[in-house]
Chain A
């Protein structure tokens, strides 16, 4: 069965790069331009992975994580933050919200897939 990943970033370049990397690895990809848009695109479908930016307009990455974790079907879905932010306080906020991991941009596609292989079953 094909796995579905949610990719959320306000930068079209990053959405394109991450989506392409995941599609090459066999994922179906749903894209969102911010947290609110991602929740609308999701429409309750099953997910194997979420990769989200932190700073986005309308709803940021932390808001999205909290929203997803509040829904039973997304409680244990791996969520990776992919952000330019590297401050330790921000990382702790992400961890507290329910993020599974933190990747500082720019990312290397091979490394990203290695991390995904560790967290996605």
Chain B
């Protein structure tokens, strides 16, 4: 609220020489200006009211949109699983991507184990090679034993049986080793094939993990931006609301102007139709202009402005705007 202006300084006393230049119809001419002043004030008050009303309407519309924007932004950040909730939808996609990436990571660990199995199979192949060598040596031993058994004649008949069994054993071991080698080789090929596929899957997993990380970062950024937007929109709505409240000054100003206009017109009517009053010969029972003007006031501000011009008049303290009293 603005502070009422200080009392007007006393006008300088005009010298008698000034009166020589005043035309004879000066008071009457001045009187005709009063309705013009009233009309000017009336137009200004109406124009102000019309423009303020437009500003109010626009501000209220801005406030509503800002509140809607804040609500929408907050809904974007809300992770509750409700229909149409964008944030919840993105969260669900991210959770699925995370779960998929975790499973693929497990697959990578399996790949390492398979690689280890491949290495063990190569070791098994070397062992089988050793068994082949041993089988060849046993076979040679059996063959030599058979020769020696022949040299021994009848005494070597029993030894001949052992030598034959030894050769057969060597043959059996060699066949078993071959069979095992084929099996190990087949297993190794299959394992290497699986390992190759798992390695491809791991590359895909790494790509998915990369995409997931990027999505997560974008989502977090989007969420932070939505929160900022919600806060800014809420602030805008509040400030616009405050601006609209402040625009209520127009109502008070218009009332003051209206009272001034009424007083000017009343004064014009009275003075134009009552030469005695114009000359200052006011009947004792008639209310003074001061009293008439005070009677029009409906606001404390008006009374304060009037009192500021009249040091002897009653004083009031400033009204508390927005004060509420329930009866």
Contact = CB atoms under 8 A, between A and B. Distances in A.
Given A13-B49, A91-B325, A103-B323, A109 B56 contact: no
A91 to B, nearest CB: 7
A72 interface: no
Contact of A104 (B241, B245, B249, B321): B321
The interface residues of chain A, by DSSP majority, are classed as mixed
Chain A contact-residue range equals 35 or more
A14 B324 contact: no
B325 A101 contact: yes
Interface in B275-327: 298-301, 319-327
B222 interface: no
Contact of A13 (B251, B300, B327): B251
Interface of B is mostly: helix
Given A11-B49, A11-B251, A109 B327 contact: no
B252 interface: yes
Contact of A102 (B52, B245, B324): B324
B320 to A, nearest CB: 7
A120 interface: no
A12 B49 contact: yes
Contact of B251 (A20, A84, A109, A110): A84
Interface in A1-54: 9, 11-14, 16-17, 20, 24, 54
Contact of B252 (A91, A101, A105, A118): A105
A111 interface: yes
Interface residues of B, number: 32
B56 A17 contact: yes
A106 B298 contact: no
B327 A102 contact: yes
B244 A17 contact: yes
Interface string A75-89: 000000001111100
A86 B241 CA distance: 24
A86 B300 contact: yes
Between A24, A99, A104, the greatest number of chain B beta carbons within 10 A of the residue's beta carbon is seen for A104
A95 interface: yes
A82 B245 CA distance: 14
B326 to A, nearest CB: 4
B130 interface: no
Contacts of B64: 24
Contacts of B255: 55, 84
14 contacts: A11-B254, A13-B53, A16-B60, A17-B60, A84-B298, A86-B300, A86-B320, A87-B300, A101-B324, A106-B245, A106-B252, A106-B321, A107-B248, A115-B324
Given A11-B250, A86-B300, A118-B326, 10 more contacts: A13-B49, A16-B57, A17-B247, A55-B298, A83-B298, A84-B251, A100-B327, A101-B326, A103-B324, A105-B251
